[in-house]
């Protein structure tokens, strides 16, 4: 089923209105103090189709902390640097555990289960840092995001980054534990500094959906023709997003939404409808697994109304 531009715009507007009216909004993240200040009533949704049509609803142009969604882009960068050698440092299997769990690292001798849990993303950050000084590594990540989003105004929210650095004790424990097994090569304080800062990048739904377009179109931006990754690599990144992108809620997201997606505790979700569209949704209230409560519900409604689930209509 192919959505016309007007149909797409109508569906996005309807869903945004429905979500803004719902009383069940989840709970905002409080373990990062700066995120606890975000308005739980916010909701934004943007869909960009293959023709470049932008359908937007709600607070689509309000910046928010993308948090773990940045891990999609650091994974893409790291794969570009070292290719499949990256998978010697981090696995590709669902964790079945909370995003900041240390238990699996003990059983698996410091090798994180996948690049989207915190330990895995810290290991990926360490790999990127191996070629740069911390400031240069962070600059490369931010520039990559700006280029993909076609917007040089994207910045790091320094207040959120500082808040994470003050309270990120469990991430510190994960990094030190991996360091003891040689999985982390650089000084832990440098790795964590870069990690906290790239998670604190602030983007709007419009910017985020634009940045993710290459994953919906075989590794290239269909408007500019610019190739970001090979079709095979785009397919594989999407596969990891589908199986691991929502922590121990990944199976539920695949069951209900049926798209590759990556969430962040800032309340954002980047979802990919292969060959059709890049989608970004933001609602700060989280469910028990740490994923956007209304974001998932909105995406389920979107895929059902447009027939976009990868598993069939």
Catalytic residue of the set 70, 90, 247, 292: 247
Catalytic residue of the set 28, 47, 71, 257: 71
Catalytic residue of the set 12, 65, 124, 195: 195
96: left (phi over 0), alpha (psi -120 to 50) or beta: left
Query: Tokens representing 200?
Result: 């604190």
CA–CA gap between residue 170 and residue 31 (Å, rounded): 11
Catalytic residue of the set 38, 46, 47, 68: 68
* Angle at 10 (CA atoms; ends 7, 13), nearest 5 degrees: 150
For the question of residue 195 being annotated catalytic, the response is yes
For the question of residue 262 being annotated catalytic, the response is no
- Is residue 39 exposed (0-12), middle (13-18) or buried (19+ Cβ within 10 Å)? exposed
291: left (phi over 0), alpha (psi -120 to 50) or beta: beta
What separation in angstroms does the CA of 181 have from each of 82, 127, 168?
20, 15, 21
CA–CA gap between residue 309 and residue 305 (Å, rounded): 10
Catalytic residue of the set 12, 47, 265, 281: 265
Do β-strands 54-58 and 44-49 pair in parallel, antiparallel, or remain unpaired? antiparallel
Q: Spell out the residues 6+ positions from residue 3 whose beta carbon is closer than 8 angstroms to its own.
A: 11, 49, 306
For the question of residue 28 being annotated catalytic, the response is no
Q: Cite the active site residues.
A: 68, 71, 195, 247, 265
């Amino acid at each position: 089923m192919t959505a016309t531009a007007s149909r797409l715009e109508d569906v996005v507007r309807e869903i945004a209105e429905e979500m803004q009216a719902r009383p069940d909004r989840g709970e905002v993240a409080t373990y990062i103090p700066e995120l606890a200040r975000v308005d739980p009533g916010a909701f934004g949704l943007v869909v960009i189709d293959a023709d470049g049509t932008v359908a937007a609803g709600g607070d689509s142009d309000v910046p928010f902390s993308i948090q773990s969604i940045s891990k999609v882009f650091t994974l893409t960068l790291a794969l570009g640097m070292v290719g499949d050698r990256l998978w010697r440092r981090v696995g590709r299997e669902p964790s079945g555990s909370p995003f900041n769990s240390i238990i699996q690292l003990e059983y698996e001798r410091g090798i994180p289960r996948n690049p989207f849990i915190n330990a895995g993303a810290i290991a990926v950050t360490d790999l990127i840092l191996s070629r740069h000084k911390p400031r240069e590594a962070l600059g490369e990540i931010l520039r990559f995001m700006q280029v993909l989003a076609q917007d040089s105004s994207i910045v790091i929210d320094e207040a959120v980054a500082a808040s994470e650095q003050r309270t990120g004790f469990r991430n510190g424990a994960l990094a030190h534990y991996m360091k003891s097994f040689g999985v982390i090569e650089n000084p832990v304080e440098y790795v964590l500094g870069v990690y906290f800062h790239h998670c604190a990048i602030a983007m709007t739904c419009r910017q985020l959906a634009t940045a993710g377009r290459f994953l919906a179109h075989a590794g290239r931006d269909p408007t500019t023709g610019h190739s970001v990754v090979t079709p095979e690599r785009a397919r594989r990144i999407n596969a990891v997003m589908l199986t691991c992108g929502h922590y121990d809620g990944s199976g539920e997201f695949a069951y209900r939404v049926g798209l590759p997606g990556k969430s962040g505790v800032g309340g954002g979700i980047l979802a990919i409808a292969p060959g059709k569209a890049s989608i970004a949704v933001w609602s700060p209230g989280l469910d028990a697994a740490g994923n956007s409560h209304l974001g998932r519900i909105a995406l389920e409604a979107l895929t059902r109304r447009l027939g976009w689930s990868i598993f069939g209509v």
